[in-house]
Amino acid sequence: MSEINYQALRERYSPVPVPKCPICGEEMSIQRISGAQVVYACSGYGDDGDFKIGRTLADEHYEKSRVTVLDVGDPEVLALLDWLETKDNRIAELEKSPLTMHLNSRKHRTH
């Protein structure tokens, strides 16, 4: 079996980070989700829940900032990768233990 590239799988199945608005640099918010497609846009809302000065619902800033991202993040795959890495590390640790080394040396002497 070939070597598993855990890092590549982790990157592939990790959630996509929330993008920043290309216009103002603020973190965008989710506007719509359809399957793995997530539509983000700069909503114009401030921390107080009201629109920022000069912004309105679905204004030009909102329209220009919209972006659709394909998010195939899967927490179950990430949990499985964690489990596999833990297992591999434990096996490597056990293979280096004095008892395992002793048993392996005895095994090789008898053959």
- Distance, CA of 91 to CA of 64 (rounded, Å): 52
Q: What is the pLDDT of residue 89?
A: 92
The rounded Cα 78 to chain-centroid distance in angstroms is 8
- Assess contact for 36 and 71: CB atoms under 8 A: yes
pTM above 0.85, yes or no: no
* Model pLDDT for residues 23-69, shown as the tens digit of each residue: 888 889 889 988 889 999 987 776 777 777 777 666 888 888 999 98
- Assess contact for 68 and 38: CB atoms under 8 A: yes
* Model pLDDT for residues 8-18, shown as the tens digit of each residue: 999 989 988 89
Q: What is the pLDDT of residue 80?
A: 95
